[in-house]
Each structure stands twice: as structure tokens, then as C-alpha cells.
Homo-oligomer: A and B are copies of this chain.
Amino acid sequence: MRGSIQPVVRLVEAFARLPGIGPKTAQRLAFFLVRAPPETARELAEAIVRMKEAVIFCSSCFNITAIDPCATCTDPHRDRSTICVVEEPLDVLALERTRGYRGLYHVLHGALSPMEGIGPDDLKIASLLERMKRGDVHEVILATNPNVEGDTTAGYLAQLLRPHSVQVTRIGRGLPVGGDLEYADEVTLAQAMENRRAV
């Protein structure tokens, strides 16, 4: 048993290396695949390999792409004077779904987090400053997450961008659409009051 279970143990270990997957969950996943039809296991393995083959990072905005530079960076219809800075490729997807933003992006691939040992060098910050040197950027929208790490990152970037002649903005803070004032947390409510606009 010990010897024959070795490939399963190795799979459990591989699963356990993924973020948020503890040893128990890794075991459950591995034994699910042990019992699953061969297609299910093959599909997952192939999806991993194909993704790794097909997906690269755009050398300009660092979003995921199949070609470098990515379709957004080379799109002549997009406003090249505005760069929206986000933490993750998924954030780009979320912003694209709004259909309201027509500028370019810059994906940091994370946020500053001293707790997790993530410093400026671990993020695509140097390359953002590099993009500023080209001089055609008028506005940088800091759209990092509205939490401690995102705010810290935005504050840090704002400081770095100050020497460049560029307008730096932070995405709006306030009550989400469909939200209920009664149930909003104090910080959000305070920010909503602060960010009030004339109607």
C-alpha cells in the first residue's frame, strides 16, 4: 500500500502547494481524481499545460495575453493618455465589463503587503514608471483594491508619480449600488459622505 500510494501522495503534495489548499483538502481533491473518470483528470492536467503554453504577460501592461504586446495595448481606438493601475488581471476583466473605460491598463500583480513580505520590487512598479517616461500619459487612475494593502499601494504609487507631470487619481469610494445605508459599515459611510458630489 505504502509504495503503491506514492503517486497519490505526490499528487496530494502538488495540490497542497496551491494557495488556500490545506493537507486535508489536498487529500480530498487527490482522491476525487483517483476515483474520477480518466477524462476528468486528463482535462484538468491539459487545461494546466495549455494555459501555461498559451498565456504570457504583455511586456507593456503585464496583463495576461496570447500575443505580446496585448490587444488592448495595440488597440488604436483606446485612449493612450490614460493608464488604469490594477492589482490583478481579473480586475482588468471586471473594468472591461463596465464598458466605460477606454484607456490602457497596468497590472501590478499584487499589492504592497509588509505582512506577507511583498515589497515594491515584487510588483510591476518599475515598469509603470518606465511607461511614464514616454510622456504621452496624462492621467494615472489608481484602481487598486479599497483595502489596507490596496490603499497602501495607491499611496506609495502616488508619491512615486508626483515628479512626473501626470494627473494621479484614485477610484471613487462610497456606497455600492444596491447597497443599504442602514447596513453600510462606518468607514464606507464616512467615505461616502466625504466623497459627496453636487447634484
Q: A67 contacts the other chain (Cβ, under 8 Å)?
A: yes
Which residues of chain B are within 8 angstroms of A28 by Cβ–Cβ distance?
19-20
Question: Chain A contact residues (Cβ within 8 angstroms of B): what range?
Answer: 35 or more
Query: Secondary structure at chain A's binding surface: helix, strand, loop or mixed?
Result: helix
Q: A1 contacts the other chain (Cβ, under 8 Å)?
A: yes
What are 22 A-B residue pairs whose CB atoms fall within 8 Å in the complex?
Answer: A1-B65, A1-B72, A1-B93, A1-B96, A5-B89, A7-B53, A10-B47, A10-B50, A11-B47, A11-B50, A14-B43, A14-B48, A18-B32, A21-B29, A30-B51, A34-B55, A35-B109, A41-B52, A42-B52, A45-B45, A45-B49, A48-B48
Q: Residues of A at under 8 Å CB distance from B?
A: 1-8, 10-11, 13-15, 17-21, 25, 27-35, 38, 40-55, 63-67, 70-72, 88-90, 92-93, 96, 109
